Amino acid sequence: MSEISTTEPMNREYAKAESDPWEPVAGFFRRPAILLPTLALATAVLYSGTLFFEFVWDDKAQIVDNPLIRSLGKLHKVFISDLWYHTGRFQLYYRPLFVIWSMLNYAVIGLRPWGWHLTAILVHIAAVLAMFWMVRKLGMEYWTAALAAVIFALHPIHIECVAWISAVSDSMATAFAALSFVGFLHVRDQHEEHRVLWQLVSCFFLAGALLTKEIALGFTALVAVYAWLFPTAKETSLSQRLRAVVFASLPYAAVTIGYLLLRKYALAQVTGSFDPMHTQRDVLLTLPYVLTFYLRQLMCPVGLTGLYYFPYVSLQHLGKFVVPLLLLFGLVGLLYFWARKRNDPLVFFAALWMVIGLAPALYLRAFTEGDFVRDRYIYFGSIGFAILAAKAIRIIPAPKAWNATTLQGTAIIALCVVYVGMSLVQQTYWDSDLLIYTRGYQLYPKNPYTEVGLAREYSRLGAYDRAIPLVEDAFRRRRDYLYGAYALADVYIAAGRYEQGRAALQYAQDLMPQYAKSDTGAAAVAAMWGKLGDYDRALALCSQVLARDPDLFSAVYNCGNIQMMAGNYDAAERLLRRAIQLSPELAAPRHFLGRTLFLESRNNEAQTYLGQAVAIDAAVWDYHYWLGMSLEKSGETQAARDEYQQALRLNPDSKDTKLRLNSLEAK
């Protein structure tokens, strides 16, 4: 890989010959053809455990329940639809290339989680390789660039983007942005013969980054900062430097403006708006705290979760503003001293990369209160941290009795061991929704979103004694929390507390009527009315949703269940078979089709589907309960007893299961 033009400033450490090896095996890894596959393999092994993880959190809406990804024939809709178009018209996310990636995954993999996790790992590796190419092109000597790539590959703060499928948009956008910057550096190289071609390539990859996620909105600023900090030999005066900055930035500004216009057209029907409850003063008071938290997580990545909770800083808690602000000023002074002492503008550039890369996520009013900090938001900006960390390790001085190479090598090995250990422990929390919410609740128990999510998971598993206090507490503390009211209704209904559930559902609809107007929201509300026995109301909502989108899985599945509860078994069977076609890897539609067939006295057919549901997901108590009833009806007493016992292990409070088991024992 070529270096940038010799007119670009370079650090004194770069002046050291690249033949200065770190360790005896350095000669072997000096070749990128050996180093990069080895790093890719190590990264893949580190995250190989995620191949066994489930679809979690937003994966359900963005992948499992997204009708847009189920057919490549809908490709034309991708560029004119927002990411969450089927869940509500108040989202502001426009990520068509992420949706196309999802469409391709679905076409090849279906809904097998391991395949999606594999592609997420591969995208992270692609971002690592693109980052290595970029830092080499920035002028970093080989071993420092290699160390930066290792830090970027193994840093635990990237767990969210690798272990959670829906966060792959960050790593994909980062890979595109790094490749775009490589193209820009080729354009800046005065000795490059194909500068026009590289400019086109660079703009192409920037468009790809922008169409994948909004984190690339600051790319033009990165180009401008680089052009200012690294002038060519011809740019000697202030006016020449300013002119060079403008001309270097113009192509990228044009691409960004084009993206913003396309985005505005695609999101014309979206009704989303910024948080009206908080002012710019609230944002300014909170920003230092948010920035120092990201720095802390980069320096010491412990307590990682997808559910951080940081409410706005107020004047009553001014210490949360003053102390972080002083820390930030101190850090800026330290970086300034470092850059000046070593005559190294790359230190400035790496630091600004961190801030600019994070900038789109720093307008806090675009988020729900407390929902400001996410590890994935710093993925792009962490390239700057990796550069700074690598450079810092490479200039560690050694005492007289020590060899500097040995000391640095020891520090690198220790850092890698720590990163790997932290990653292995903390990535396990992304295995399932239950673990995600449990981890979030342990770390941030006052987060209403976490309480609601954990309550719903407990409810799904039949642990209503745990679910109800959690969701009631969240609702009591934040009665204005929209989804909390719907969750309260859902948990009450699942627990059989129908009057409370009816009251909570009516309150939720009065508080947030727009939720029931979205496709997935209407399907969920219909399911709740169906469980309450209000079948006319539920089926009316079903008809509206299915008329708009007959391929929306949640609508087909929920409406099939409602038809079953209403005794319309033919309609239920038709819808549930369609749900299985849409999502053949899921257990729930097979279970409810089995229940429908059982209620129709078609027990032999029912038992097949009930057994398939248990085989796919053995963690749901009523799957075992209904399979037990089917087996009991077939005269398979011992097998039925085993299923009832398993149901009781999963849900010890199930009275129906106890009655069935006691009846069998009496026989």
Q: Which residue in this structure is represented by tokens 């507390």?
A: 497
Instruction: Answer whether residue 667 shows pLDDT above 80.
Output: no
d(CA 30, CA 146): 9
Q: Work out the average pLDDT over 212-218.
A: 94
User: Is there a domain that residue 535 lies in?
Assistant: no
Instruction: For Cα atoms 658, 663, 667, give the angle at the middle one, nearest 5 degrees.
Output: 145
Whether 550 contacts 528, CB under 8 Å: no
User: Is there a domain that residue 447 lies in?
Assistant: no
Q: Work out the average pLDDT over 273-291.
A: 84
Model pLDDT, residue 30 = 82
Domain that holds residue 162: 26-429
Model pLDDT, residue 10 = 39
Q: Is the dihedral of CA 10, 15, 16, 19 positive or negative?
A: positive
pLDDT band at 12 (very low <50, low <70, confident <90, very high): very low
User: Is there a domain that residue 461 lies in?
Assistant: no
Chain-wide mean pLDDT for the chain?
89
User: Is there a domain that residue 118 lies in?
Assistant: yes
Whether 393 contacts 147, CB under 8 Å: yes
Q: How far is CA 443 from CA 266, 291, 437, 438, 464, in A?
A: 38, 19, 10, 9, 22
SS3 545: helix
User: Is there a domain that residue 532 lies in?
Assistant: no
346 vs 16, residue with greater confidence: 346
User: Is there a domain that residue 524 lies in?
Assistant: no
Model pLDDT, residue 6 = 35
Q: What is the pLDDT of residues 477-493, one digit of tens each?
A: 888 777 888 999 999 99
Instruction: Answer whether residue 91 shows pLDDT above 50.
Output: yes
User: Is there a domain that residue 458 lies in?
Assistant: no
181 vs 194, residue with greater confidence: 181
**Predicted TM-score (pTM) above 0.85:** yes
Token pair listed for 35: 């180093």
Instruction: For Cα atoms 175, 179, 183, give the angle at the middle one, nearest 5 degrees.
Output: 170
Q: Which residue in this structure is represented by tokens 């500068």?
A: 195
Q: What is the pLDDT of residues 548-595, one digit of tens each?
A: 888 888 889 989 999 999 999 999 999 999 999 888 888 999 999 999
Domain count across the chain: 1
User: Is there a domain that residue 509 lies in?
Assistant: no
d(CA 551, CA 68): 9
Q: How far is CA 127 from CA 115, 138, 172, 380, in A?
A: 19, 16, 7, 9
Model pLDDT, residue 271 = 57
